[in-house]
């Protein structure tokens, strides 16, 4: 029986559980949040859709329910409030995750942690560190959402199904992320070859698209307060890869052990994901410019880690 426990039933969490139900993922979906009243309401609401989808056990969970879960997904925590510094947010969410992970560990949980709370790369590393879990069993959503945004934007521009746009955003899920244009292809045709024969796309357009992708979260938050559908579907995609043992290649936050010349840091990188979590990190042979961006991104995350985690 595939069992998922979701911790954090806010905008992201509730959109994720809705994705699980509508996509038929996981037989058991247990939900935990300090706002127990909202969980009770959402559980009922989700159950009301099952008659048109298929049987599934959706319920209000406790930490004891984590003991035999396949995946614990953490979306609890705050987003950055006006006037709050990035550092304030990291401190706040680190404390929230510390308490949650303590409770999950106490249950005897031995499955895969999937983390979405921001700053996701720092917190994925933090969860790995405090649980002592092997790196394959702690996965962050990483640049999965940013990659989906990029594929969608490029697909729109090229009038091509975004699933046939093969390009990844790597690095921090944040301002130092970057697209790997050097390995981008459209249905197998290298992006640079595509540009040669399709005059409606230029190198300048690529820069604009990459900047829009990087700033998408700011625009959406400005418009409606949070981003949650895109990340919910990205989390569901990672969940599917784990539960169905897919060996899917996904851009997730993974713990580096020498890849790109770094270790002891989690960052968005392509990896093969299956029932065991991260089977293998795929290290792209980046060009010089991309390698500089990768180093900068890793160093930015490492600085955040040092500020909070190493000195707590
Ligand atoms: P939200 O405020 O709507 O929801 C957060 C939920 O966490 C609330 O329901 C709150 O009650 C719960 N919570 C807080 N402390 C808790 C605790 N100790 N135990 C259990 N539950 C607790 O926020 P949101 O919009 O759902 O965002 C959640 C997180 O996801 C944020 O950190 C946000 O930045 C992040 N996020 C990540 C990505 C990504 O790509 N990784 C994308 C969007 C949002």
Domain boundary, last residue among 98, 114, 140: 140
Which CATH number is 128's domain given? 3.40.50.720
Catalytic entry in 125, 173, 228, 255? 173
Cross-strand partners of 170: 178
Testing ligand 1's pocket by substitution, the residue of 116, 147, 149, 254 carrying the most ligand atoms inside 8 A of its CB is 116
- Show the domain range for 284: 144-308
Among residues 140, 161, 182, the one where a domain terminates is: 140
Q: How many CB atoms lie within 10 A of CB 289?
A: 11
- 135, 160: one domain: no
Tokens of residue 76, six digits: 């609890």
Write down the pLDDT at residue 309.
61
Express each pLDDT in 73-116 by its tens digit.
Answer: 999 998 777 667 777 889 899 999 999 999 999 999 999 999 99
State how many domains the chain has: 2
Task: Give the pLDDT score at 311.
Answer: 52
The backbone torsions φ and ψ at residue 179, rounded to the nearest 5 degrees and listed phi first, read -85, 145
Same domain, 96 and 165: no
Please state, in angstroms and rounded to a whole number, the distance separating the CA atoms of residues 71 and 73: 6
Q: Are 136 and 111 in contact (CB under 8 A)?
A: no
* Structure tokens belonging to residue 200: 């409606």
127 and 229: one domain? no
Mark whether 228 is an active-site residue: no
Q: Where are the alpha helices (DSSP H) in the chain?
A: 11-22, 36-47, 86-106, 120-131, 144-158, 191-197, 203-224, 229-243, 288-305
Residues with CB under 6 A from ligand 1: 7-13, 32-35, 75-79, 93, 96, 99-100, 116-118, 120, 141, 145, 173, 226-228, 231
Predicted local distance difference test score (pLDDT) of residue 312: 62
Q: Please say whether the beta carbons of 272 and 248 come within 8 A.
A: yes
- Please confirm whether the linkage preceding 119 is cis (ω < 30° from 0): yes
Residue 160 sits in the same domain as residue 174? yes
Ligand 1 pocket check: which of 7, 30, 77, 301 to mutate, most ligand atoms within 8 Å of Cβ? 77
User: Ligand 1, closest atom to CA 116?
Assistant: 41
Q: What is the pLDDT of residue 79?
A: 76
Q: Does residue 122 sit in the same domain as residue 157?
A: no
Neighbours of 184 (CB within 10 A): 20
Secondary structure class of 265 (helix, strand, coil): strand
Residues 108 and 251 in one domain: no
Domain co-membership, 54 together with 201:
no
Same domain as 186, residue 52: no
CATH number at residue 211: 3.90.110.10
Spans in the chain with pLDDT lower than 50: none
Q: What does pTM read for this prediction? A: 0.97
**Nearest Cα residue to atom 7 of ligand 1:** 76
For residues 121-136, b (16+ Cβ closer than 10 Å) or e, as one string?
bbbbbbbbbebebebb
pLDDT at residue 307, as a whole number:
79
């Amino acid at each position: 029986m595939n069992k998922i426990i979701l911790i954090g039933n806010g905008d992201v969490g509730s959109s994720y559980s809705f994705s699980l139900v509508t996509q038929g993922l996981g037989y058991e979906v247990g939900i935990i949040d300090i706002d127990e009243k909202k969980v009770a309401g959402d559980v009922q609401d989700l159950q009301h859709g099952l008659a048109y989808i298929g049987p599934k056990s959706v319920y209000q969970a406790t930490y004891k329910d984590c003991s035999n879960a396949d995946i614990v997904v953490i979306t609890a925590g705050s987003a950055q409030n006006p006037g709050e510094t990035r550092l304030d947010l990291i401190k706040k969410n680190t404390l929230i995750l510390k308490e949650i992970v303590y409770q999950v560990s106490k249950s005897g949980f031995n499955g895969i942690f999937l983390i979405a709370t921001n700053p996701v790369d720092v917190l994925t590393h933090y969860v790995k560190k405090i649980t002592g879990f092997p790196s394959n069993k702690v996965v962050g959503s990483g640049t999965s959402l940013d990659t989906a945004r990029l594929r969608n934007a490029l697909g729109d521009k090229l009038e091509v199904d975004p699933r046939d746009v093969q390009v990844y955003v790597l690095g921090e899920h944040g301002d130092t992320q970057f697209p790997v244009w050097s390995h981008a292809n459209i249905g197998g045709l290298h992006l640079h070859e595509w540009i040669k024969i399709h005059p409606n796309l230029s190198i300048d357009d690529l820069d604009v698209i990459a900047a829009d992708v990087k700033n998408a979260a700011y625009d959406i938050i400005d418009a409606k307060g949070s981003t949650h559908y895109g990340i919910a579907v990205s989390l569901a995609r990672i969940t599917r890869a784990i539960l169905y043992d897919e060996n899917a290649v996904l851009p997730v936050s993974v713990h580096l052990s020498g890849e790109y010349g770094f270790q002891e840091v989690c960052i968005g990188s392509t990896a093969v994901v299956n029932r065991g979590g991260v089977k293998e990190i795929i290290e792209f042979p980046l060009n010089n410019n991309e390698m500089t961006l990768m180093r900068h991104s890793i160093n930015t995350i490492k600085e955040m880690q040092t500020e909070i985690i190493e000195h707590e």
